Structure 1
C-alpha cells in the first residue's frame, strides 16, 4: 500500500501496515521536556512508581524558557530538574545551552525518528523528516518510563510548493500564508506534509521554520522529506551518519492537496491576537512598533542573524523602538560572532540576549508594557503571550522585523 511520510514512519516503527485512523503503539526515540512543563512531567513520572527511565540517554530536560531564571520559584524548578537528571541519568541542557527545538535539530533528531515532547513546538523536528509532536505532561511522563506511546495515525494534507520566493520573502511568510489560508484549526490532528519543487529547493533551516508552526494550524505533525538538503544539514552538524533518505510514495493518498506558488507570496504579518489573523505587510504599514524581537525556535538561527544584519548594517534602530535579538543556540551565537552579524546588530542598537526562548513566552526578557506593540519573529501572538494582556503582538519574518526596527513602524522589507 502506498504511504505518506507519516504512514511510512509509523509503519517502520511499529512493524505494522498502518493507515489513517489506526490506533498504534510506537517506540519513542526521544522524549523531552522544558522548564515550564518539565516539573509537572517529572512529578507525574515519579508518581507512576517506575524504577527507572526507559532510555535515560534519550530523555532530555531543557532549561531554556526562563533562562537565566528571573525569580525564586523558577529557580527552584530548575534545581528540581537538575537533581532529577542527575538521579536518573537523563540528559540535561542547562541555562544558555539553547532552545530545546533548535538543539534537537542540531544534536539529536534524525529522519524517521519518533519524538515526543511536553512542548507543542516539538513539531519543529519534522523539518528533518522526524515524526515529532507535542503531548501533555502525563503522556510524556509515560513515555519517559515506558519508552513508547500511542497515536491515532493522522490523515495527511499535502502542501505542494512551487516557484521561488522573492527577495525578502521567507519561509516564515510561507507558513503564515498557509495558516491564514486554512485557519488555526484548519488542520486539527492532521499531518501537514510539504513537497514539490519549492520544498525540494529549501534548506533545512527554512524547513524547520515551517514545521515549527504547523501546530499553529492544529496539525499533529509537519513533515518534510529527508533528501540531499537533509544530508547537507546533518553533515554541517557533524551527524552525516544519522541520515537516511525518506520520501512519501509517489502514489500516496492524501485527504487534501493545497498548492502554493512561492513566487506569488509577499511579506505576511499575523495581527493580534491569533496566528491566522494574517494580512500582507502593505495593509499594516505605518503601525507604530515599540519593540522588535528577533529569535526563538522559529527564527533564531544563523540565517536569521544574517538576514537582520544585512538590513541593519550601517543603520540604527529607531530611537523609540527597542530591538532584542536572541540566538537560538550557542552554536548560532558563535557563528554569528565569527561572521560579524552580532557586531552589525549591536552597532545598529540591538540588545543581544543569551541563547534561549527569551521574550517569546513572556516570563522575562522583553515583557511588554501596557498598550505597547511588539513585532516578533516568534510563533504565537496570543493575548498575554509576551507577559502582558494589555500588549499587542504582531508576527512577521526576520526581514520584516529588521526593517521595522529601523523605521519604528511596520515596514515592507522590500522598501528598505
Structure 2
C-alpha cells in the first residue's frame, strides 16, 4: 500500500478507500458542515433548488451567526433571520443564537464538536482551524456547503503536503501567531497552494492548544488546503475537557510519507513578527521596524481571541494606559472566554487601561463593524488578513501581529514590541 500523510489517511478513511494519492478526486463522508450568517443564507437558497429541502443529519450541521452579530443593520438582520428559520425548520442541534454564539472557529472546538480524525467542511475560509485537533478541515463555497448539508458528502482533490518540522521552544512574548507569520513570510501567500501543511516534530509539544489553533487557522493565508497537527497529550487533555466521552480516531502520517518539501523551524530563534500592508507574507521583525504611528488596535478574531490571547493582552495592559488618541478594541472569541476573562479580572484591567471590550463578533476583521478604519488610518490587529480595504477605507493600513505586540502598540501609540515597554 502507498504511504500516506496524516491528511491523506483521513480522506481515504472517509472515502472508504484503502489508499489515496495526491491529485486523486474522491467523494467522502462528512462529520460536520459549518456555516455562518454571511455564507449560510446563500447555501440555504441553493438547497431550495435541490429536490430535497431536508438536511442529511441535524446533529452534523453547525450554524453560527458571528460576522455581523448582534445585527448591525437590516440586511444582517434578514440574513440571521434566514439562518434562524432554517435551523428551526430542520431542528438543527448546533445552532448558536446571540447569547450562546461566539466566533465560529473558537466556538466549535470549545463545544466539543470537532475531534481528531473528523472530516469537516465550512463555508468560511478559516475552517482549517480544526487541524489543531488532528482533524481534516477546510473551507468551501456556499454551494458545496449546500450539497454537504443535503447529502453529508463532498468531493475533494487529494492534496500533496508540506512538512514543517518544529524544534525548540518559543521565547517569552513569542506565540503561535509569530510562528505562522514567520512561515507565511518564508513561503509566501501561495507557498502551500492546495497543499496540506503538516506540523510535526519535538517542538509541537511546547505549543499550547491555543497556539496550535492560531497556526492551523492561518494555513489558508499561505494558500493551504488545510493545516494539521498530530494528536498528543495536550490534545487529549483538551478533548477530555471539551468533548468528554466523544469517540474519535487518530491518524498518523506514515514514516515514509511523501512531502513536496520539508522545512525545519527552530522555535527558540523566532521573534515577534508583524505582517505589513497589504499581504500576510510582507513580514518584518522589530530588528527592521522604524516608528510607525497607529490609530487603532484590535485584539480578537478566530485567530487570536482565545483565553491565552486575552490573558497576554491583560498581562501587558495591567497598570498601563492605552495611549492618547488610540482606540483599543478587545473581543473575547466566545461567551465562555468572555466569562473566564471576567472572572479572572481581565476585563477590569482592559477598562481601567482605557480599552473597550466587545461581545464576541468577527465584526472588525472583515470591515463589518466594531472597528472600521477611516481614510489613512493604521491598525495593529490580531486578525488574519491585511488586504487593501479589508478593515475599511481602501487607503487604510493593517499590521497583523500577536496579542502581545498589539497590546504593547496600544500602550505606546506606535507599532511596538512588548520587550520595549
Q: Could you tell me the TM-score, scaled by structure 1's length? A: 0.98
**What are structure 2's unaligned runs of at least 5 residues?**
none
Give the corresponding residue for 2:389: 384
1:51, distance to aligned residue in structure 2 (A): 3.5
1:198, distance to aligned residue in structure 2 (A): 0.8
Give the corresponding residue for 2:296: 291
Alpha-carbon distance between aligned partners in 1 of 2:121 and 2:313, rounded to the nearest angstrom: 32
Alpha-carbon distance between aligned partners in 2 of 1:312 and 1:285, rounded to the nearest angstrom: 23
Other structure's SS at 2:77 match: helix
Size of the aligned set, in residue pairs, is: 416
Give the corresponding residue for 1:178: 183
Give the corresponding residue for 1:3: 4
1:95-244 alignment to 2 at 5 Å?
95-96=98-99, 97-107=101-111, 108-239=113-244, 241-244=246-249
Moved segments of 4+, more than 6 Å: none
- Which range is displaced more, 94-103 or 393-402? 94-103
Alpha-carbon distance between aligned partners in 2 of 1:245 and 1:6, rounded to the nearest angstrom: 11
1:2-401 alignment to 2 at 5 Å?
2-16=3-17, 17-90=19-92, 91-96=94-99, 97-107=101-111, 108-239=113-244, 241-401=246-406
Alpha-carbon distance between aligned partners in 2 of 1:269 and 1:400, rounded to the nearest angstrom: 8
Other structure's SS at 2:255 match: coil
What do you get for the CA RMSD once the two structures are aligned?
A: 1.2
Aligned partners of 2:117 and 2:250 also within 8 Å: no
User: What are the superposed Cα offsets for residues 45-81 of structure 1, whole Å, 9 maximum, x if unpaired?
Assistant: 1111213101122112111000111111111111111
1:249, distance to aligned residue in structure 2 (A): 2.2
Aligned partners of 2:297 and 2:379 also within 8 Å: yes
Other structure's SS at 2:256 match: coil
1:387, distance to aligned residue in structure 2 (A): 2.4
Specify whether residues 78 and 232 from structure 1 end up closer, same or farther in structure 2 by C-alpha distance, changes over 3 A only: same
Q: Could you tell me the TM-score, scaled by structure 2's length? A: 0.96
Specify whether residues 121 and 101 from structure 1 end up closer, same or farther in structure 2 by C-alpha distance, changes over 3 A only: same
Alpha-carbon distance between aligned partners in 1 of 2:289 and 2:331, rounded to the nearest angstrom: 25
Other structure's SS at 2:246 match: helix
Aligned partners of 2:376 and 2:393 also within 8 Å: no
